[in-house]
Amino acid sequence: MENSRICDKPQPVIVTRANVDALLDGGCLQAAMTGGRWWTIRRNGATRKWKRDARRIAIPHKMGMYGYGTITENDFDASGHLMTSFYRVNPDMVDHAHDVARRAAREAIARAGLTV
């Protein structure tokens, strides 16, 4: 009986370079603010990628009325996951974030011409 409760808990959504665009477009990401508050961030322009250096990335975002920032390649750790000390998935939208991440993975597989 204990095992069924453990399985019912929602699994955390891991934000990677592959699904950060989809999660940001879905309104699922939050940024840490001063005082321990978390604000929902929204896209504020196109994702920029560099031809000479494929590792470089810049995703502009906004929060609130005047807040803005950019998610860059420096915001990801060595394994390619977004640093959780600055950004997180909105706890109220975990199920939606899972759906968005799965859809992004399926689209990436389809673009690569692979079959599931």
pLDDT tens per residue across span 12-62 = 677 887 788 888 888 888 888 888 889 999 999 998 989 998 889 899 999
8 assigned to some structural domain: no
Residue listed under structure tokens 């993975």: 105
92 assigned to some structural domain: yes
Domain carrying residue 41: 13-112
Give the count of domains, the chain.
1
Q: What is the DSSP string of 27-84?
A: T-EEEE-GGG-EEE-EE-SPPEE-SS-TT-EEEEEEETTTEEEEEEGGGB-TTSBBPT
pLDDT tens per residue across span 75-97 = 888 888 888 788 888 888 878 88
Q: Does the reported pTM lie above 0.75?
A: no
